[in-house]
Structure 1
Amino acid sequence: MVRIVHISCDHPDAWNAAKTPVIRDLVALVRDRFDHHVLSLNRVNAGPGFVRDLMRGASPLRDVDETGGVTAIRYAAPARGLFHATILDQLAYALVDRVSGADMIVGHKLTIEGLMVQRIAERLGIPYALSVQGNTDTRILSARPDLRARMARVWHGAAVAFPFTPWALARVEARLGRRSGPTILLPCPTATETRIAPRVTGGGILSAFHLRAAELKNAPRLFRAAARAAADVPRLTLAVAGGGTDDEVRTIRSAADRLGGGVVTLEGPVAHADMQARMHRAAGFAMPSLRESFGLVFVEALLAGCPILYPRGAAVDGYFDGLPFAIPVDARDTAAIACGLKRMVTDEAALKAALAQWQDGPGLTRFLRAGIARSFGDGLAAAAA
């Protein structure tokens, strides 16, 4: 069986079990086709003398834990990306022995893990693959023009690349050029695949996020947009599902009252098992986040029969072009958000009829685990060969 080593900063491990489960779930989808091992990276702050020692060739590797079949690794690095490539190169060389014997190595971001897997693959003479995560990868590409030539070599040298979203692929290609090798769009797998046929409910708009992330999820503009939309469509309401500390609840409730004009309510946390049923009762799901690499919640809403409003140039943008039940908006344009909210309420029947057709057609297949597993597994197999 082909042995594949994955390097990821985003895989749950013994030191941080709360990391996003996306990489773990992707690996699990193709567990039966390959022999996998994961090196899970955790950055810690560099101490005094770190730069001096680094320039003398010292490794940034600090600790290793082998618990639970995942190799958790702590490495030191200063804030703000100082010595970004140098540190990752040194860490890569420190980990070569842990990859030895692999047939292939996968780096689960272009601009961080990708730099490492290129070095390791060169040292071992094996192919490497990349995933591309829109938020981090496009931000680092923009912030580090000094590393663009290096990142271009990583991008074009990969045996296969798996961008999670079309918009992330477009931005990487705009800066680094189009690859000649295979590039496979790879949606993130959802926790549930239960489909609920859309039903016109006359309900309000739903949003959902942990209250600590309210600014990132663009809550102030969303609240203002809801108030503006309700001035034209009086039955329009916005409910926010999500928990937080007492201070966070007080802060967001105050913002909802101040900005939302009495239209916005906080529902508190909703158990994940109950979220689809809650989405199903809504006219639409709206989350015009300021940054969103993918946003599994949008696919979950569509599975629940609920149209979506999402940020243009982020999240799931590019997957639903021209489909009326998925409304892209400029996340920094309150008026545009308000127009989208009004459309979700006034056109609920038409949007949900279009969504019902999509649910029953081939468009949904690419977002289900079987389709994702096939795309990921076939891409890895071809690259390893």
Structure 2
Amino acid sequence: MHVSADFPDPFEPNKTPVIRSLLDITADGFDHRAVSINRRNPGGPAFARGLLPRGQETGIAICEQSFDYGTTLQYAAPPRGLFHKTMLHRLGDWLAARLAGAPGPDLLVAHKLTIEGIAVRRAATRLNLPFALVIQGNTDLKILAARPDLRGEFRRIFHDAAAVLPFAPWALRGVEARLGCRAGPVHMMPCPTDLDRPLTPVVGDGTLVSAFHLRNLAGKNLAGLCSALRLTARQGHRLHLSVIGGGSEADLAQGRALAAGLDAVAFEGPLGRAALRDRMHRATGFAMPSHRESFGLVFVEALMAGLPIIYPSGAAVDGWFDGLPFALRVDARDHRAIARAMLALVRDEARLKAELARWQRSDDARRFMRPAIADVFGRGLREAIGRGRSAQA
């Protein structure tokens, strides 16, 4: 039984498909069910009523609906983290009540430490079940930093989990720096993508590309890319950047304002999956020094499409490509570092793409393909189930 706030469902169909993909690629070995959760602000009186016990009821659910993968739930919780633990404990009580008294799951899975983990550990404790934990760096580290008052709760979740599956090495390091190193098993697991078939790198068209929805242009650091382009222009280098991704007219206007005076920046609009892959294959390099990024599938998709990448330190895929020349790590706050990396992608294109072509044929590259990810995820789940059974014996 998976509990995730990042699962496409009838209430929020446009959420990232990563968690759903993990279930799909391991469906031959597990009977997966999901509880897709959506927080809703209940308002003043409703919130007050939700804090009061009502017999055996938890008072947590606003609306509940079945869908193909299980159940989707809108649950009551105020914004800005108010009563964060209280309301997620209520969610855990709801989950325990739902699963009690019937043939239940062998394992509960929380798809973030600092949100779903609170509810899942509560339910697992009440049901005497093991639980596994997926760590997503962006949200988890943000909440860990913002809520030192819940450090004890988070520490218990992290260390009590029967298995932990982080998306990236930097995310695990950040959690362990705050909560201590785990004694239990950890399975490092990249996110799966449908664009995981390698395309042999070719000489590109001279453009660097970035890909994101324009509503996210601040987090994806379009401002930093534009500042870097202005710097390279002053140094006598004319680089071209194409931004792939849709957005509203207001989003596009904001992007054009950030790129004011830079005729080397083009906004190409949204592309379908196959077209995105083809567009990246024709380019020279990929640059997206995001300020925050839990994993960033597009970096792996760019590498598989034959593009060397620029990625941010302490975010996204940091730790997966250490020492590899075609993956350039930069401080997202330093436009000079971004500029140097952009120049390197263009100047050293042939060498970097030759190194990338060799990597694409390696076992290291295969770990980012769906069969290998399914193996890691499946092993982590089986190990957690086994540890739970051993503890109950």
1:257 offset after TM fit, Å?
2.3
Q: Choose from 180, 184, 208 the match for 2:187.
A: 184
Distance in 1 between the 2:203 and 2:381 partners? 42
> Unaligned 5+ residue runs, structure 1?
none
TM-fit CA distance, 1:201: 2.4
> How far apart, in 1, do the equivalents of 2:50 and 2:98 lie?
21
Counterpart residue type for residue 298 of structure 1? F
Residue of structure 1 equivalent to 2:120: 117
Aligned to 2:18: 22
Q: What is the correspondence of 1:25-104 to structure 2 with a 5 Å cutoff?
A: 25-57=21-53, 59-100=59-100, 101-104=104-107
Q: Contact between 1:230 and 1:236, CA under 8 Å: does it hold in 2?
A: yes
Any idea what the Cα deviations from partners look like across 1:189-230, whole Å, max 9, x if unmatched? 012222111112251211111111111111111111022123
Q: 1:158 aligns with which of 155, 161, 164?
A: 161
Q: Which residue of 2 aligns with 1:11?
A: 7
**Alignment-mate amino acid for residue 291 of structure 1:** R
Asked if the contact 2:113/2:154 (under 8 Å) is kept, the reply is: yes
Q: Report what 1:330 is aligned to.
A: 331
AA in 2 matched with 1:79: P
| 3-state secondary structure, aligned to 1:149 | helix
How far has the Cα of 1:374 moved from its partner? 0.4
The aligned counterpart of 1:254 is 257
| Structure 1 length-normalised TM | 0.95
Deviates more, 1:86-95 or 1:248-257: 248-257
Q: For 2:257 and 2:175, how far apart are their aligned partners in 1? A: 40
Instruction: Say if 1:230 and 1:263, in contact at 8 Å, map to a contact too.
Output: no
Kindly tell me the number of residue pairs found equivalent between the two proteins: 379
Cα shift readout 1:33-79 (whole Å, capped 9, x = no counterpart): 11111011011112222453344225222211013242011101111
Equivalent pair of 1:256/1:265 in contact (CA under 8 Å): no
- What is the aligned partner in structure 1 of residue 391 from structure 2? none
Q: Deviations over 1:260-288 (max 9, x none)?
A: x3221222222221111111111110001
Question: Does the 8 Å CA contact 2:47/2:76 hold for their aligned counterparts?
Answer: no
How far apart, CA to CA, are the structure 1 residues paired with 2:233 and 2:274?
A: 30
Query: Contact 1:202/1:345 (CA < 8 Å) preserved in 2?
Result: no
Distance 1:240 1:303 in 2: 19
Secondary structure of the structure 2 residue equivalent to 1:79: coil
User: Pairwise mapping of residues 1-385 of structure 1 onto structure 2 (< 5 A)?
Assistant: 5-57=1-53, 59-100=59-100, 101-232=104-235, 234-258=237-261, 261-385=262-386
> Secondary structure of the residue that 2:311 maps to in structure 1?
strand
| Counterpart Cα distance in 1 of 2:154 and 2:253 | 44
For 2:223, the aligned partner's letter is: P
Instruction: List gaps (5 residues or longer) in structure 2.
Output: 387-393
Deviation at 1:110, TM superposition (A): 0.5
**Cα deviations across residues 106-156 of structure 1 (Å, max 9, x unaligned)?**
010001111111111111111000000011000000000000011100000
Q: Aligned equivalents of 1:345 and 1:231: distance in 2?
A: 17
- CA-atom RMSD in angstroms: 1.3
The answer to which of 293-302 and 115-124 deviates more is 115-124
Q: Which piece of structure 1 moves more, 338-347 or 200-209?
A: 200-209
**Conservation of the 8 A alpha-carbon contact between 1:294 and 1:315:** yes
Please tell me whether the aligned partners of residues 51 and 59 of structure 2 are also in contact (alpha carbons under 8 angstroms): no
When structure 1 is superposed on structure 2, of 285-294 and 202-211 the one drifting more is 202-211
Please identify, of 91-100 and 124-133, the stretch whose mean Cα deviation from structure 2 is larger.
91-100
Partner of 2:390: none
User: Structure 2 length normalisation: TM-score?
Assistant: 0.94
Q: Which amino acid aligns with 1:123?
A: R
Helix, strand or coil at the partner of 1:317: coil
- Deviation, 1:98, is 2.6
Task: Please tell me whether the aligned partners of residues 195 and 277 of structure 2 are also in contact (alpha carbons under 8 angstroms).
Answer: no
Q: Is the contact made by 2:65 and 2:71 (CA closer than 8 Å) also made in structure 1?
A: yes
8 Å Cα contact 1:211/1:248 also seen in 2: yes
